[in-house]
Chains A and B, each alone.
Chain A
Amino acid sequence: MLTAAVFLPIVGAALLALIPREREEMLKAVALVVTLATAVIGLSLLFGFDYGDAGRLQYTVNHGWIEVINSRYHIGIDGISLPLLILSMVITVLCVIYSWDHFPEPHNPKAFLILMLVLETGMNGTFAAQDLILFFVFFELVLLPMYFMIGVWGGPNRQYAAIKFFLYTLFGSALMILSFLALYFKGGQTFDIPLLIAQGGAIAHGTQLLIFGGLFMGFAIKVPMFPFHTWLPDAHTEAPTVGSVILAAVLLKLGTYGFIRIAIPILPEAARSWAPWIGLLAVIGIIYGALGCLAQRDMKRLIAFSSVAHMGFVMLGIATLTTFGINAAVFGMVAHGLITGMLFFIAGSIQERFGTRELSRLGGLLLQAPRMGWMLGFCAFASLGLPGLAGFWGEFPAILSAYQPAAGLSEATFRAYMAVAAIGTVFAAGYLLWMLQRVAFGVVKPEFEKAHIHDVHIPEYIAWVPLLLGILVFGIFPHLLFQMTDAAVSVVTHGVDAVGAAGAAAGR
């Protein structure tokens, strides 16, 4: 069943390829049906999931695939993958609905929808893969559609942004695959993630550090962490709305997910040595992203920089290597997916109506399109971490977890990080409210006074309401998510704790 969830979209893409270009309605309908069917499978996975045992891999499939290198088709999901998998499915459906009559120039819905479906297979597959080579294939499968999506349907500077995105990520994955192969040779000639977790700790410390370094490059570029983030603002700004949404909501999570699923559990010792540096880069990212936001004139670019800051919180949570911190990180990933995805939707709709995203030219959205204005306000508040909305549960526990990092990590260092991150939240409030003020409040600028600005359309409602509801529901009932992730996160941190305990014993 999980296999169907992964491959149904690409089957749909093949189906779309057979439909002639002119029959747009049919193309859209097929794409919608396929994504909806995938999401229904996702829901059934959600309901069939055994929450009492969320740390165990469920729905596993394990077949031989490439026997020469002992790589297997091994998929399965636990409490960490499940919410991200569902997020990816839901976002894709909403994106198809949003695109219904919003296809960016040069139109061509056929190619656009095919790319979107291929992208979904890549994303779902990455979250389900339990074999390093399989993971790598899905991780890379995401690149091509995104490259074309940005490069063909993007803004004026699209070609530069597309190739920058592609080259950056490919550089990271080239080092990543070397690390995977090193794990294969050092970790008992297998690519199987659960098996490697069981025996990864046996690798010599120096080798672990190097391998972790390669993995770090691969994942940190994808997240993106400071200083590897420079592709992100370009890619986000130039991408078409739907591209930005998928990029922000799901693709960035592939990097953080990689840390939680692969790097940390397989190489707990190296993770402990690297953690202070990851934490440092994370808090630099928080502050740098926030300051970057304040310097932006373009609304989408501002949201892109805010992503750098938010992913900084997620990475800080991961860097503590505690159950508490990583739980917060997973929550932060989902929350950021919902909130930032929504912000990019709104930015896209504003661009469509006003023909610009320049903050200095916008104003008075509440007067011209009050519903959209309020939605923007809602998301801005969620994004800055207002308690009661989803953003809070990603940000606040992540900061708190830095107070007490895993055994063996310097408390003083992490408490300093905590203080800096806390200041970062103030900045976050600053730039988000500033954006809200410029866009929604005030009076309409003279150039748009006569313009007829349509408030939220039907397709937009359908696409947005689920996200808004999600932000609210997860804000009020965070345990919905925490109960899923907690058991699985304990499995991840188990190895780290064991190493920490051993280290403490040896120190004594």
Chain B
Amino acid sequence: MPFTTPNLDYHALSPEIVVTAVLAVILVADLFLDSSRKWLLSNIAAFGLVAAMAPILSLALSETDVRSMVGGAYVVDNFALVLKALFLGIGFVVLLMSSNYIEDGDYYEGEFYFLLLCSLLGMMVMASSRDLITIFVALETLSLPAYMLAGWRKRDLRSNEASLKYYLLGVLASAIMLYGMSLIYGFTGTTVLAKIGEQMHGSAAHQPLVTMAIVFIIVGFAFKVSAVPFHSWAPDTYEGAPTPVTAFLSVASKTGGFVALLELIFVGFFGRGDVWGPMFGILAALTMTVGNLVALRQKNIVRMLAYSSIAQAGYILVPFAIAGSNDGAGAKSAFTAAVVYLLVYAAMNLGAFSIIVAVARKTRSGEISSYGGLYEYAPGLAVLMTIFLFSLAGIPPLAGAWAKLFIFRAVLDAGTSWAVLLGVVAAVNSVIALFYYASIAREMWMNPVPDGDRTPIQVPAALVTALGITAAIVIIVGVYPQTFANFGDLASLVP
């Protein structure tokens, strides 16, 4: 069979092309800039990300809704565009968080931004992948730079540990997943998800081998999204990695994993809800409960947020668990719930991490007790942190509440008693979670300053911008959640 050049739609690929060009520029510029002018690199990266938003906008406004390439392996539709925009937004905020951190900490700068953009590129590709191989390539593109970023504080043992643990477990997960993918290919003879999806109703409907393959693939991604019991790497990695990288891992990398799961489940394996439904149910219940209970005991704020983000992943798993029940009637609202949660989670978690970066500039500590009396010397940071925490806890009128409401809606839309039970577990968990989120608020507002040092915190402009963006999203979406309404047609993936 002769090789035919695939027909590429360059307009559809332009966001990825812009990001690739920018990271090439960074790599070259890094060679020629002397160390006093390395700060330029972060600006180049930031402008590059903003520039990449332009083609996304033009694609969103264009007449063609779905642009499919390479035999359906690479698709640019509304779902892909929204998530690409989300990834660019996350990347932009992480850049704002890290520019001063990396500069002051005397770390390598050029490589940092290069790797960060590489990882983002992988995520953007992931948003368009509708094919097993593309998903795998995207996953490795986003993971490999992340392994290195986690070890960026190279003179710190814990950062080394973070990187190594993340790497070993990540590779293990990839191996398991790849095995599952090869089984699927062996059975169906195709790697394109849409075609796999057709066979799931027919010949592959009750094959034990296919069941095993699906389990393997889900377990592989359960590592990526740090679902219990595959979460053991997350707290150590999050604590050891530089804080902006932790923010990046806990938001962007996790979102990347969930995007892949959405594609796999809703396009590829939708017919086999009997396999993944119960599996996600158990994962979700365990992840929420264990994440929250362990978070209760944490003394270090980054570790606590690590467990909190595990628990949050549990909430996002809930809609997966119920998507297939009731003959798929609730699939659409399950899909919307997962996407909405990902969007909101990104804003509130990045906001909380930005505060941690800002406060650590003064206290040089990650202990929760070092937040004592924050209100007295940094009222602005204390108010914003309170907003982010209570949004994570799901208190209206903040964005997190609506994200949770969408989950509950999906649960009741499915309507089965298992679904409702899972909803009750989620409801009880949100009460447990409030306890530790409120404990930070208590520290900031009700306890005295530990060392009596009340000098105000100097927050650099980049961090202020990061905080402004995230807080604005949390509050605006909180008061006027109709901003979500336009994502209703995102559910195009749902069969």
Asked, given contacts A137-B397, A167-B434, A181-B408, whether A67 binds B485 with beta carbons under 8 Å apart, the answer is yes
Is B428 part of the binding interface, using a Cβ–Cβ cutoff of 8 Å? yes
Complex Cα distance, B394 from A166, in Å, reads: 13
The answer to whether A152 touches B482 (Cβ under 8 A) is no
The answer to whether B488 touches A68 (Cβ under 8 A) is yes
Contact residue among A64, A68, A148 (Cβ-Cβ distance under 8 Å from B484): A68
The answer to whether A151 touches B446 (Cβ under 8 A) is yes
The answer to whether A185 touches B442 (Cβ under 8 A) is no
Complex Cα distance, B482 from A69, in Å, reads: 9
Which residues in B have their C-beta under 8 angstroms from that of A143?
395
The answer to whether A151 touches B396 (Cβ under 8 A) is no
Contact residue among B405, B420, B438 (Cβ-Cβ distance under 8 Å from A166): B438
B113 CB to closest chain A CB (Å) equals 37
The answer to whether A159 touches B446 (Cβ under 8 A) is yes
Q: Which of B432-457 contact A (CB under 8 A)?
A: 434-435, 438-439, 442, 445-446
Looking across the interface, which residue of chain A has its beta carbon closest to that of B484? A68
Which residues in B have their C-beta under 8 angstroms from that of A152?
445-446
Which residues in A have their C-beta under 8 angstroms from that of B484?
66, 68
Is B48 part of the binding interface, using a Cβ–Cβ cutoff of 8 Å? no
Q: Which of B447-495 contact A (CB under 8 A)?
A: 480-482, 484-485, 488
> Most chain-A CB neighbours within 10 Å: which of B397, B420, B484?
B397
Looking across the interface, which residue of chain B has its beta carbon closest to that of A210? B420
Is A140 part of the binding interface, using a Cβ–Cβ cutoff of 8 Å? yes
Complex Cα distance, B415 from A136, in Å, reads: 22
Contact residue among B423, B431, B481 (Cβ-Cβ distance under 8 Å from A170): B431
Which residues in A have their C-beta under 8 angstroms from that of B428?
171, 174
A111 CB to closest chain B CB (Å) equals 8
Contact residue among A68, A144, A167 (Cβ-Cβ distance under 8 Å from B390): A144
The answer to whether A185 touches B435 (Cβ under 8 A) is no
A-B interface pairs (CB < 8 A), number:
85
Q: Which of A65-107 contact B (CB under 8 A)?
A: 65-69
Which residues in A have their C-beta under 8 angstroms from that of B390?
144
Contact residue among B397, B424, B435, B485 (Cβ-Cβ distance under 8 Å from A163): B435
Chain B interface: which size bin?
20 to 34
Contact residue among B396, B427, B445, B482 (Cβ-Cβ distance under 8 Å from A178): B427
Is B77 part of the binding interface, using a Cβ–Cβ cutoff of 8 Å? no
Is A147 part of the binding interface, using a Cβ–Cβ cutoff of 8 Å? yes
Asked, given contacts A67-B485, A151-B445, whether A140 binds B396 with beta carbons under 8 Å apart, the answer is yes
Complex Cα distance, B395 from A403, in Å, reads: 42
B219 CB to closest chain A CB (Å) equals 31
B135 CB to closest chain A CB (Å) equals 29
Known contacts A152-B446, A163-B442, A177-B427; 20 further A-B pairs (Cβ under 8 A): A64-B482, A66-B485, A68-B484, A68-B488, A69-B409, A137-B396, A140-B395, A144-B390, A147-B438, A162-B442, A166-B434, A167-B434, A167-B435, A170-B431, A174-B428, A175-B424, A178-B412, A181-B412, A182-B412, A185-B415
| 25 A-B pairs with C-beta separation under 8 A | A65-B482, A68-B488, A69-B405, A69-B409, A137-B397, A140-B396, A140-B401, A143-B395, A144-B390, A144-B395, A151-B445, A151-B446, A152-B445, A159-B446, A162-B442, A162-B446, A166-B438, A170-B431, A174-B427, A177-B405, A178-B420, A178-B423, A181-B411, A182-B412, A185-B415
Q: Which residues of B contact A (CB under 8 A)?
A: 336, 390, 395-397, 401-402, 405, 408-409, 411-413, 415, 420, 423-424, 427-428, 430-431, 434-435, 438-439, 442, 445-446, 480-482, 484-485, 488
**Leading 8 A-B pairs by shortest Cβ distance:** A174-B427, A137-B396, A181-B412, A68-B485, A171-B431, A140-B396, A66-B481, A151-B446
